[in-house]
C-alpha cells in the first residue's frame, strides 16, 4: 500500500523538479514590423512625390466599374491639373512617375520650359470601351452601351488632351499632333516614351476616336498605338 502510495508522489516531485530545472517558457516572438499593404504603400509614394490628393472610399464590384484604392488627384508633384481626377492610387503613381520622368524632362529639353498644367479629358468613367464599331452601332454615342468595360471604369486610365506651359502657351493633341514643329515633336516623343510607363497607349495614329487625346492605361492588355 505504502509503496504504491509513495510512487506517485515521487513521480510528481520528479516532474516538478524537472519543470523547475527547464528554462522558462519563451516569451512570444516580438511582432514583426508593420508591413505596409500595397494600398498604404502607394499612398505613401504619392505623398513622397508631393502629389496633392484625397484618398476616396473603395467603390464598385469586381467585374463591373470599381476602384479598390481610389484617390482624387488635384495636382501632380510638378504640375497642376485643369480639374481633379479620380483614379486608382496605382494609376496616380504611374501618372506621377510619368510626369517626373518623361513629361517635365521632355518639355525642358524640347520646349525649353516645364509644363505648368496637365489638361486631361477624363480619368475614372464608368463606361464600355470606345471602339469604331461601337460608335457605328450606337450612332455616334460611343462607349455607352455593351462592350468590354473600359479601363476608365476601373480608374486605370487617363485621357490627355494637352499641356499648358509656364509661359501660358498650350500644346494640344488635337491641333499639334500632326503639325511639324516642336510641339508635335514633344507630343510624339512623349507618346513613345509613355509606352514604358503604361501598358496601353492610344494616340491619334491609332484611330479617329483618339484624334484629340492620348489614352494611357495600366490595364492587362498591351498596345503601344504609335
Ligand atoms: Zn481613354
Domain spans of the chain? 52-225
Residue 78 CA, ligand 1 centroid: distance in Å: 23
Whether the predicted pLDDT of 36 surpasses 80:
no
Task: Report, as an integer, the average pLDDT of 163-168.
Answer: 98
For 106-131, how does the pLDDT look when each residue is reduced to its tens digit (9 = 90+)?
A: 999 999 999 999 999 999 999 998 88
For the chain, the average pLDDT equals 85
Q: Is 53 helix (H, G, I), strand (E, B) or coil?
A: strand
Whether the predicted pLDDT of 2 surpasses 50:
no
Residue 188 CA, ligand 1 centroid: distance in Å: 17
Residue 26 has what DSSP assignment? P
Q: Answer yes or no: pTM beyond 0.75.
A: yes
Whether the predicted pLDDT of 144 surpasses 50:
no
Residue 1 CA, ligand 1 centroid: distance in Å: 93
Residue 159 CA, ligand 1 centroid: distance in Å: 5
Residue 123 CA, ligand 1 centroid: distance in Å: 8
Residue 222 CA, ligand 1 centroid: distance in Å: 14
Residue 7 CA, ligand 1 centroid: distance in Å: 85
Residue 157 CA, ligand 1 centroid: distance in Å: 6
In which band, very low, low, confident or very high, does the pLDDT at 7 lie, cut at 50, 70 and 90? low
Task: Report, as an integer, the average pLDDT of 184-204.
Answer: 97
Report the pLDDT value the prediction gives residue 142, as an integer from 0 to 100. 45
Residue 158 CA, ligand 1 centroid: distance in Å: 6
Report the pLDDT value the prediction gives residue 13, as an integer from 0 to 100. 47
Place of cell 460611343: 142
Whether the predicted pLDDT of 37 surpasses 70:
no
In which band, very low, low, confident or very high, does the pLDDT at 62 lie, cut at 50, 70 and 90? confident
Residue 215 CA, ligand 1 centroid: distance in Å: 4
**CA atoms of 133 and 111, how far apart (whole Å):** 38
Residue 55 CA, ligand 1 centroid: distance in Å: 22
**CA atoms of 148 and 27, how far apart (whole Å):** 55
Q: Find, among 67, 69, 74, the residue nearest to 41 by Cα.
A: 69
CATH architecture of 52-225: 2-Layer Sandwich (3.30)
Residue 38 CA, ligand 1 centroid: distance in Å: 25
Report the pLDDT value the prediction gives residue 146, as an integer from 0 to 100. 59
Residue 142 CA, ligand 1 centroid: distance in Å: 12
Question: Cα 92 from chain centroid?
Answer: 4
Task: Report, as an integer, the average pLDDT of 98-113.
Answer: 98
Report the pLDDT value the prediction gives residue 39, as an integer from 0 to 100. 84
Contact 223, 200 (CB under 8 A): yes
Amino acid at each position: 500500500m505504502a509503496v504504491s502510495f509513495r510512487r506517485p508522489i515521487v513521480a510528481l516531485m520528479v516532474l516538478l523538479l524537472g519543470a523547475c530545472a527547464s528554462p522558462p517558457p519563451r516569451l512570444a516572438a516580438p511582432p514583426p514590423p508593420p508591413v505596409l499593404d500595397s494600398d498604404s504603400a502607394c499612398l505613401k509614394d504619392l505623398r513622397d512625390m508631393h502629389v496633392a490628393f484625397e484618398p476616396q472610399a473603395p467603390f464598385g464590384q469586381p467585374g463591373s466599374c470599381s476602384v479598390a484604392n481610389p484617390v482624387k488627384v488635384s495636382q501632380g508633384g510638378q504640375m497642376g491639373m485643369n480639374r481633379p481626377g479620380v483614379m486608382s492610387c496605382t494609376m496616380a503613381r504611374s501618372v506621377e512617375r510619368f510626369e517626373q520622368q518623361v513629361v517635365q524632362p521632355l518639355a525642358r529639353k524640347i520646349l525649353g520650359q516645364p509644363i505648368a498644367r496637365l489638361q486631361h479629358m477624363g480619368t475614372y468613367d464608368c463606361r464600355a470601351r470606345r471602339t469604331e464599331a461601337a460608335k457605328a452601332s450606337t450612332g455616334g454615342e460611343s462607349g455607352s452601351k455593351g462592350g468590354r468595360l473600359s479601363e476608365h471604369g476601373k480608374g486605370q486610365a487617363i485621357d490627355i488632351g494637352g499641356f499648358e506651359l509656364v509661359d501660358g502657351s498650350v500644346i494640344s493633341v488635337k491641333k499639334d499632333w500632326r503639325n511639324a514643329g516642336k510641339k508635335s515633336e514633344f507630343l510624339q516623343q512623349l507618346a513613345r516614351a509613355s509606352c514604358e510607363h503604361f501598358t496601353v497607349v492610344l494616340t491619334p495614329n491609332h484611330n479617329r476616336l483618339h484624334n484629340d487625346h492620348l489614352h494611357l492605361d495600366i490595364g492587362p492588355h498591351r498596345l503601344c498605338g504609335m
